[in-house]
Amino acid sequence: MSHALPKNLRTIVSSPLPGKVLNILAQEGEYVQEGQSVFIIESMKMIHELQVRKPGKLQEVRVKIGDVVVANNQLATIE
């Protein structure tokens, strides 16, 4: 039996801009706090830390270090 939240109660973590994933600062299944940086993206020779907007459990991490992402690319979800 699954205890996953319905999709409408999950928060999607997405990349606001295109770039390359340089680091992932939290592991899938880890609880993260609001404002915590979870991904580092390099875009246009600048480093951007992507922070979560809501606390919860990091799930469905869809990228790995070195992946190239486009703007609005889903990186993970927060439950």
Per residue in 3-57, pLDDT tens?
444 455 689 999 999 999 999 999 999 999 999 999 999 999 999 999 999 999 9
What pLDDT was estimated at residue 7?
A: 54
> What value does the mean pLDDT take over residues 55-71?
96
Q: Cα separation of 33 and 22, whole Å?
A: 21
What pLDDT was estimated at residue 10?
A: 82
What pLDDT was estimated at residue 9?
A: 65
Give the phi and the psi of residue 37 in degrees, each rounded to 5: -75, 130
Q: Is the pLDDT of residue 72 over 60?
A: yes
Give, as one character, the DSSP assignment of residue 7.
G
CATH fold label, 7-78: OB fold (Dihydrolipoamide Acetyltransferase, E2P) (2.40.50)
Tokens of 2: 């699954």
What pLDDT was estimated at residue 14?
A: 94
Domain ranges of the chain: 7-78
The pTM for the full model equals 0.84
Q: Which residues contact 60 (CB under 8 A, 6 or more apart)?
A: 28, 76, 77
Name the residue among 10, 21, 6 with its Cα closest to residue 68: 21
- What is the dihedral sign for C-alpha 10, 15, 20, 23? negative
